[in-house]
Amino acid sequence: MSCIQSTALAAAIALACAPSAHAEPSWFQFEAGLGMSTAIKTDGLWYWAGADHSTPVNSPAGRAGIQFNISDPDHLNPGVRMHLTYNYFGHYNWHANAGFDSNATKTFGYNRKTQSCFNNDCGQYRWFDSVGNMQFVALTVEPFWNLGGGWNAGIELGPAFYFPNWNTTATAQTNGVFGPAGTVQNFHHTVRLELGALGGVSIGKGPVTLRVEYLYAPVKPIFGENDPTPAGIRGGVMTTLNYTW
């Protein structure tokens, strides 16, 4: 049985066995959850899909925070709750072989469409070792509906302030414009709050909730003057099994 199948089975058992909430919850509660994330990466950013690389995007993930109970559902009218959470999206350790991106005239360098190099000229190759992680703080509003039998389902959306950390070491494989073979260049993404968004869906029973959320965390700037090192990932999907008390 795969890890994903095991996680889904554990989530289903936990939800089915969760007690219904008979007591009225207070206006706020604590919540925490663990699960997995799948990040989105960009071909040509710290790796080439058409060259040797090991760039895994799956990682353990987790969230913790406060749930604010604004209103309860009434027949077809949804209830409303808000979430203020800290989220650890994932950790990444990449290794990749890459050369030049294509030049303006596309006479040499990497072609993302064909995942090969123009005129078979990739320029000087370097080996890229990258280590990074993604964390974010989100404030979301979640309308939710009572499905009966203690079950409920919701949809959430709100801003997310993310702060990726990314470090890459590039080592020249051959002699060339980056220096003789063995020349090392280090890149570091300046850690700072960046504005993105978080959206997702949930289904729960009593204090147990399964959440599937999408983090929009665009890569910026892309080799800009103020920060020449973008992070290697740009958000993705996070699935967690949560408990609220």
Q: What is the CB neighbour count within 10 angstroms for residue 132?
A: 20
pTM for the model stands at 0.84
Q: Over its length of 245 residues, how does the chain's per-residue pLDDT go in tens digits?
A: 544 444 444 444 455 454 444 455 689 999 999 999 999 999 989 999 999 999 999 999 999 999 999 999 998 899 999 999 999 999 999 999 998 776 666 778 888 889 998 888 888 899 999 999 999 999 999 999 999 999 999 999 999 999 999 999 999 998 988 899 999 999 998 888 899 999 999 999 999 999 999 999 998 655 555 556 889 999 999 999 999 99
User: What is the structure's pLDDT at 72?
Assistant: 94
53: which strand partners? 96
> Chain centroid to CA 177: how far?
35
**Per-residue DSSP letters for the chain?**
--HHHHHHHHHHHHHHHPPP--SPP-SEEEEEEEEEEEEEE-TTSSS-TTSSEE---EEEEEEEEEEEEEE--BTTBPEEEEEEEEEEEEEEEEEEEE-PBP-TT-SSSEETTTTEEGGG---S-EEEEEEEEEEEEEEEEEEEEEEETTEEEEEEEEEEEEEEEEEEEEEESSSBTTBSTT-EEEEEEPP--EEEEEEEEEEEETTEEEEEEEEE----SSS-SS-----SEEEEEEEEEEEE-
Torsion of CA 98, 101, 106, 107, to 10 degrees: -50
Which pLDDT does position 4 carry in this prediction? 45
pLDDT value of position 169: 96
Each residue of 159-213: pLDDT tens digit? Answer: 999 999 999 999 999 898 889 999 999 999 888 889 999 999 999 999 999 999 9
pLDDT attached to residue 100: 78
Q: What is the pLDDT of residue 112?
A: 87
Q: Residues 6 or more apart from 58 whose CB is under 8 A from it?
A: 36, 37, 38, 39, 90
Residue 155 CA to residue 162 CA, distance in Å, equals 21
Fold of the domain built from segment(s) 3-97+129-244: Porin (2.40.160)
Residue-level pLDDT at 228? 64
Q: What is the pLDDT of residue 191?
A: 85
Going from N- to C-terminal start, the domains of the chain cover: 3-97+129-244
